[in-house]
Chains A and B, each alone.
Chain A
Amino acid sequence: MSWGSLGYAAFFFALYLAAHMIARATVPEADPALLPMAGLLTAIGLTEIYRLGPTDAFKQGLWIVIGVALFAATLIGLRRDYRILESYKYLFGLGAIVLLFLPSIPGLGTTVNGARLWVSIGGFTFQPGEIAKIFLIIFLAGYLRGKREVLAQGRLKDLGPLLVIWGACMLVLVETNDLGSALLYFGIFLAMVYIATGRVAYVLSGVGLFAVGGFGAYEKIPHVHERVVIWLQPWTTKPVYCPLNGLPALRQDCQSYQLVKSLYSIGNGGFTGTGLGNGTFSTTTGTPLIPFVNTDFIYSALAQELGLIGASAMLLVFMVFVARGMKIAIQADDGFSKLLAAGLTFGFALQTFIIVGGVLRLIPLTGITLPFVSYGGSSVVTNFVLLAGLLLVSNRANARS
C-alpha cells in the first residue's frame, strides 16, 4: 500500500460523489442503481490498471475525469427533454458514418495490432468507433420510430435500409479489419429493428446475412482467418508455419500466444483468486506475460486476481446493469425513448459479451473494450455518456408514472 494508491482512491471517491450529486440534481427520479454499478466497475477497472501499471492508471484517471465531465454535460444539457435529439437523427446518422470511416483516412488513422480503429491527432489517440456507436443508436431510435409500421409489414422494398446498413458494416469490417466492431454495430441494428417491429424474420435474415459476410471475410481477409484459427485451435503439438516470422513454431508460441497466456491467467485464479495485487503477469525477467492485458484482456487479469467468484460477481454486475436498462426501456412510454434505452442497453450487453466471450474462447477473439473496466479513453468516455442517456430516459419514465 502506498500513499499514491490511496490518493487515487480518495480522488476517485470524490469524483463519484460529484457525479452522484449532479445526477441527483438533474435526474432525481432516475434509476438509483445504475450509477453505483458503473462506479463499481470503473473502480475495479482503475484498481487493476493501477496494479498493472501506475502510468496507465494516471492517464485512465484523466479520461475518467473527462468522462464524468461529459456525463454531467449530457445530463445538464438534456435534462429538460432529451427527445430533442430525435429531430437531429439524420445528422447523427451521418456523424456515425463519418466517424466510422475516419480511421481509414490516410495520415489520420493509426493501425494497432492489425486493426485500423484509431485516429491520432497531435499524439492524442482515440477510437471514433466508440462514439459512433452512440450516434448510431440515436439515429436508429429516431429512424425506426418513424418507419416501424412500414417495416413491420415486411415488403421486400422496405428491406433496402437493412441491406444498406449491412453493406456499411461489412465495409467497415473490411476497412478496419475488425470483426468485433462490425458484429457490435450489426447486432445493435438487428436488436433495434426487432424491438421496433417485433418480427423475428428480420433477425433471422440479418443473422443469415452476417454469416454470409463473416464467411466471406474469413475466406478473403487473412487477419479474420487467423482469428478463427486461433479460436478453434490455439494449441498445436507440432510446429506449424508462424506468419509472424515465417518460421515453424508451436501455435501457442506464435499467433495464439496472447490468448493462451490469458487462458492460463484465468486458470491460475482458481475459485477465490490470488487476491488483488498478487497475480502473476510477468515472467521472472520482468517481461509482461500477456500483451495488452489492461485493454482487451483486463477480464483475464481480473479473473486471476478475483478468481471465479469475483469474476462472476463482475459479470453479475454487468447483468444487473443490463436488466435495469431493459426495465427502463419497458417503462418508457414513447417509441423513441424505448428504442433509445433498449439500443444503449443492448449495445452495452453485446460489447461485454463479445469481449468476455472472446477472452473465454467462446467466440473468436476480437479486440474491443470491456465497458467501464478496460483501459481506454474513448471507451470510458462513451460509456459515461451512455449511462447519462439511460438515466435521462429513466428519469422521464419514472417522473410520469
Chain B
Amino acid sequence: MIASAQVETTLLVLKLAFLVLLYVFIWRIVRSAARDLRLPQESMVLSPQQVAAYLPQPTARELARLVVAASPAIAAGTSFAIGTASVFIGRSANNDIVIASDEYASGRHARFEPRRDGVYVEDIGSTNGTFVNGTQVTRAHRLAPGDVVRAGETDLRFEA
C-alpha cells in the first residue's frame, strides 16, 4: 500500500512538472517575441524622453547639425539638429533620420551621441558598417566639424 501511494505521488509530481514545463516553454517564447515588439511602441503614455520634449528647456540648444551631402533616400541639403538626445539613423521608421530606401543601410545603423566633449558617432551593429571620412569606425568616434559620416549610401556632413 505504501509503495502504491509513493507511485501515485511520483506520478502526480511528474504530471504537474510536465504542465509547468509546458508553460515555461510558452513563457520563454512569448517573452522573446515581446522583446522584438518593444521598440516601436505606440502608446499615449509618454516615455521620460518624450516628456522632456514638452518641458521648457533652458538648456535646449543645438549642439551641432548633420547636413545630407548625398543620399538615395533624402534630398541633399536637408539638415538634422543634434540637441541633448542621441540621434539614430537607419532604414526602419523608429529612427530619427529615416533612410528607408537606402538599400545598403541597416534597420538601426548608427547613433550620434552628444557627450560632454563633443558629438560621437557609433556603429550599432550595421551590416555594411559606418565610415568617417572613408575610415570605418569600430568604436565611438568623436566628430570634428566638416567630417563626412557614411551610413549605407548616405553621406552626412557634420557641422558644429
Contacting pair A310 B19 (CB below 8 A): yes
Contacting pair A401 B15 (CB below 8 A): no
Instruction: Across the interface, name the chain A residue whose C-beta is closest to B11.
Output: A275
- Is A317 interfacial (CB 8 A cutoff)? yes
Question: What is the total number of residues of chain B having a CB less than 8 Å from a CB of chain A?
Answer: 20
Contacting pair B16 A40 (CB below 8 A): no
A residues near B12, Cβ cutoff 8 Å: 275
From B23, B26, B92, B106, residue with most partner A Cβ within 10 Å: B26
Which residues of A24-55 have CB atoms within 8 Å of chain B's CB atoms?
A: 32-33, 36-37, 40
Contacting pair A317 B26 (CB below 8 A): yes
Contact A278 B11, CB 8 Å, known A272-B19, A401-B107: yes
A44 to chain B, nearest CB (A): 9
Name B33's contact: one of A36, A273, A327 (CB within 8 Å).
A327
Instruction: Across the interface, name the chain A residue whose C-beta is closest to B92.
Output: A401
Name A313's contact: one of B15, B22, B92, B107 (CB within 8 Å).
B22
A320 to B29, CA, bound (A): 8
Instruction: Across the interface, name the chain B residue whose C-beta is closest to A401.
Output: B107
Contacting pair A40 B25 (CB below 8 A): yes
Q: How big is the A interface, by class?
A: 20 to 34
A97 to B37, CA, bound (A): 40
From B22, B23, B91, residue with most partner A Cβ within 10 Å: B22
A152 to chain B, nearest CB (A): 23
A residues near B4, Cβ cutoff 8 Å: none
B22 to chain A, nearest CB (A): 4
- Is A316 interfacial (CB 8 A cutoff)? yes
- Is B73 interfacial (CB 8 A cutoff)? no
Interface string of B1-41 (1 = CB under 8 A from A): 00000000001101110110011011001101100100000
Contacting pair B29 A33 (CB below 8 A): yes
Contact A37 B16, CB 8 Å, known A310-B22, A313-B22, A401-B92: no
Contacting pair A33 B26 (CB below 8 A): no
- Is A115 interfacial (CB 8 A cutoff)? no
Contacting pair A401 B91 (CB below 8 A): yes
B23 to chain A, nearest CB (A): 6
Instruction: Across the interface, name the chain A residue whose C-beta is closest to B28.
Output: A33
A residues near B23, Cβ cutoff 8 Å: 313
A residues near B32, Cβ cutoff 8 Å: 32-33
B146 to chain A, nearest CB (A): 32
Contacting pair B30 A313 (CB below 8 A): no
A306 to B21, CA, bound (A): 12
B residues near A85, Cβ cutoff 8 Å: none
Q: Which residues of A contact B (CB under 8 A)?
A: 32-33, 36-37, 40, 272-273, 275-276, 278, 306-307, 309-310, 313-314, 316-317, 320, 323-324, 327, 401
Q: Which residues of B contact A (CB under 8 A)?
A: 11-12, 14-16, 18-19, 22-23, 25-26, 29-30, 32-33, 36, 91-92, 106-107
Beyond the given pairs A275-B12, A307-B19, 19 more chain A to chain B contacts, judged by CB atoms under 8 angstroms and listed by A's residue number, are A32-B32, A33-B33, A36-B25, A40-B22, A272-B15, A272-B19, A273-B19, A275-B11, A275-B14, A276-B18, A310-B19, A313-B19, A313-B22, A317-B25, A317-B26, A320-B26, A320-B29, A327-B36, A401-B91
Q: Supply 14 A–B pairs (Cβ within 8 Å), ascending by A.
A: A33-B29, A33-B32, A37-B29, A275-B11, A275-B15, A306-B18, A306-B19, A307-B19, A313-B19, A313-B26, A316-B26, A317-B25, A327-B33, A401-B106
